[in-house]
Structures are given as structure tokens and as C-alpha cells.
Copies of this chain bind each other. A is one copy, B any other.
Amino acid sequence: MTIRALVFDVFGTCVDWRRSVAREVAAVLPGVDATAFATAWRAEYDPAMARIRDGGRGYVPLDDLHRENLHKVAADFGVTAPDTLSAAWERLDPWPDVVAGLTTLKTHHIIAPCSNGSIALMTRLAKHAGLPWDCILGAEIAQDYKPKPAVYLASCAALRLSPHEVMMVAAHNDDLHAARRAGLATGFVPRLAEHGPGQTSDLTAETDWDVIARDFTDLARRVTPEAP
């Protein structure tokens, strides 16, 4: 297995969206249960993409879906939220091991997000969080949303690599199942705090992913070529 590039899920795998969004909500909407608001906002994410995946709506960048969902959730909470709160998703903090692990991986591999976030969102988030990507891949270049195979395949094609030369890294088994079906190598890193203390999903690897690592430091150690 010669891996030339690693592509990453971002929300949950690289960054702690739940606590970061809650912090931004708390600053703008005092009196609201900010963690509940963040969780409800995130819960609208998959249904909003589903219509696009199914062809019921053309590709719309996640920035716009986040804004639409913000107003839906704000109404449910009985408040009015400013459009600018959508930029909360550009200010998510990385898990503690991420920047060091990516920096090590970057010395021998191409590293890029393969996220459902847009180029604009991923670019601004990378600046906030210090994620040292080589380029931005994912939904926007495919004009579709994961777990559709087009997103993984377009990301490999943009690098002019075969899927078996690219490893998808995620904290979510579903993402890796889809990547493996598209022919990519797979790396699992658990994020046991993504959904808070009561998390029940993705606590362990569901199958024999090509690499199962404790965190990004461990991942970097496992995929870095041996010294000659």
C-alpha cells in the first residue's frame, strides 16, 4: 500500500464543532441553551444535504445551508439569529492532536480536506484552526455531497491519483464505508467527545479499516514511510 495523499473529514474528525459553535452561539444569543442550539443546528445538516444528494435541488454550498438551517433552528428556539452567526462554522477549534499530526503527515504526503464544507468555508476554517492543508478538495469540486462516491472520486482525480493511492481519514464509520466502496484506503481515528458525554455512535472501528489510530499523532506514525 503506497499512500500518496491523505484526505480528511473535518467536522468532528479534525475540529470540535459542538463546543466551538456553542461558544459562538452563547456570545450572540444570551439566554439560549447554546449547546442544545449547536446540536440542533448540526442535526439539520444531513437532511439539508439529502435533497441535493437526491437531485431534488442543485448544488448549494454548505455556507448557505448553514444559514438556512440557522434561521430554522432559531425559530424553533423562539429567537432571531443574525446571518453573521453562520460564520461560527469558520471558527471551529481543532482537537489537540490535529495540527501537530497534520504537520508531520505533510512532510511525506499531500494532505487535504475531503469535507462537505465549501472551498471558502474550509479555507477560512483552516486559517482559524491552523490546519496546514496543501489544497482544498471535497464537496465543492464534486458539486455534490458525501457520502456520494463522486466526492471521494473527484478529490482523487483532482490530485491525479488513483483511489488506492489516497487514504480517507474520518472519525465516522459511515464516511469510511463510502470511501472504501469508492476504492480509497481508509483510516479511522475515534473522537469520543464529538457529541458530548453521552456519545453512543462511532466509539470504535466497525470493521478492519486499513489504519486504526488513537489520534493524528498515532496516524502520522503509522503512515509515515520508514527511513531507508
Contact = CB atoms under 8 A, between A and B. Distances in A.
Contact of A160 (B112, B120, B160): B120
Interface residues of A, number: 23
A134 B140 contact: no
Interface stretch (A97-105, A121-129, A203-211): A121-129
A145 to B, nearest CB: 17
Contact of A120 (B61, B119, B133, B158): B158
Copies in the complex: 2
Contacts of A126: 134-135
A159 B120 contact: yes
Contact of A119 (B63, B118, B127, B135): B135
Interface string A193-208: 0000000000000000
Interface of A: 61, 63, 110, 112, 118-120, 122-124, 126-127, 133-137, 140-141, 158-161
Given A63-B160, A136-B136, 8 more contacts: A110-B124, A110-B127, A112-B123, A119-B137, A119-B159, A123-B134, A126-B135, A141-B141
